[in-house]
Structure 1
């Protein structure tokens, strides 16, 4: 589980509920009609904007913001260095057996293309084309949640207008004014919460996850092509470390030196 997402949601709910309790009762801020107008309306409008299959996929993709990243750039570089050592000692064909233990389908596909003797330029074109379509799918999901964030406040305003119309219709009965005004204001609140506490943060988190995944795949492409070119593992390591922040570069160097020390010892 991603602790940042969980922590943010828990903290947000805590602060919202605490502020409500300081000003009154929670029941004063709950209204079924407001939920239907704001939440239902925002997702209904988003459904109109996207094909049903994309709508369902994007809803399911919300689970990604709760998952912690399994691999980082350092792990990928270490794996590529390991593969380069295998290729250097046993040849490129030995990579086919090594590929069986790799869970990353993108990297596995690149390895098998290399083992099959595919031209390096063609390997790059195939992997980069797949990368473009992966990025496109990611952006489609991000835009879905951005659209929900856009529609949320708009439907909150629609709910506000409905509440004001109902209030004006019954101005001769003062007892109904408070309830109708409450619905009018609560819908605006719900629309803002949907946009700024759920939809837009989800979209941004997905963007961060996507950028990280794309970077990992770019590292994989460069590493695999370097292995195919027969470059020295140390040269490959230095080339791929250009993708990393300085702190991660130093960490990889220390780990590599430690492993070499154990082997030599």
Structure 2
């Protein structure tokens, strides 16, 4: 698990709570059911209206895998592909069939199996590129949903504040309660801004980043698979993949 989400959101919410204490107040002063229900429920409803029910449910169902995402070790993949290239060049593609069953990376496993089955190189490239594009499109749609919700939340918070202020104006004949009612009215705006900037927008940015990392890894893997199928030199394949991975080869690190 990458702890960036835990540390980042912990620091953000911790700063808000600390600020409340430093103001001499209590976190319970902003934990008011009505504005929270309005902002959260209204934001979810508005978000649902922008997409389909299937996509909406799929986005929240897949959310844990993005929040708990652990970046892949590019070096491990490069070394694996180079070893596969070397073995395929010495023993032929069919020798890799037993290795295929033990691969955890489904993209690499399916692509390698297709190469072993004799798929035309151009057809294999198109098939792999289609998988990358499909993933990128799906995750961009997910990120857009949370970005849209991040845009709706502050406005819905303002709506809640206006609704509460209307109630305040209806009770001007009760001056002893006006201070509390006005303070409560602005809690909706607080929750709108807080949920947008500490929940929805960070989630959208997280999905985009994970998508970029995974698609880049898939692109690198695809180039390696095509090299394995073509019987390319393991040394040349290694150099190309290390460059695509943006990581120095082990030899360069040792020399440094």
Give the TM-score category using the shorter length: over 0.9
**1:6: which partner in 2?**
6
1:107: which partner in 2?
Answer: 108
Task: Report what 1:208 is aligned to.
Answer: 209
Unaligned runs of 5+ in 1: 258-265
**Is the 1:219–1:243 contact (alpha carbons within 8 Å) kept by the matching residues of 2?**
yes
**2:256 paired with 1:239:** no
Instruction: Tell me whether 1:18 sits opposite 2:40 in the alignment.
Output: no
Q: 1:172 to 1:252 in 2, by over 3 A?
A: farther
When residues 254 and 96 of structure 1 are mapped into structure 2, their CA distance, relative to the original with a 3 A threshold, is farther
Q: After superposition, where does 1:109-188 map in structure 2 within 5 Å?
A: 109-188=110-189
What does 1:74-89 align with in structure 2 at a 5 Å threshold?
74-89=75-90
Superposition deviation, residue 172 in structure 1: 2.0
SS of equivalent to 1:171: coil
Q: Give yes or no for contact 1:74–1:252 (8 Å, CA) kept in 2.
A: no
CA distances 1:56-80 after superposition (whole Å, capped 9, x unpaired)? 1111232134324252322221111
Between Structure 1 and Structure 2, how many residues are aligned? 254
* Residue of structure 2 in register with 1:260 after alignment: none
* TM-score with structure 1 setting the length: 0.91
Report the CA distance between 1:175 and its aligned residue.
Answer: 2.8
| C-alpha deviation, 1:253, in angstroms | 4.9
Alpha-carbon displacement from aligned partner over 1:199-225 (angstroms, at most 9, x marks no partner) = 111111111111000001000111111
After the TM superposition, which residues 62-73 of structure 1 pair with which residues of structure 2 at under 5 Å, given as runs? 62-73=63-74
Deviation, 1:183, is 2.5
Say which is worse superposed, 210-219 or 52-61, in terms of deviation: 52-61
Residue 189 of structure 1: how far off its partner (Å): 0.6
Deviations 1:75-132 (Å, cap 9, x if unpaired)? Answer: 2211111111220121101122111111111111111111011110000011111111
State the 1:161 CA deviation: 0.8
Q: Counterparts of 1:137 and 1:171 in 2: how far apart (Å)?
A: 52
Give a deviation string over 1:8-38, Cα, whole Å, max 9, x none. Answer: 1221222111110111122222211010111
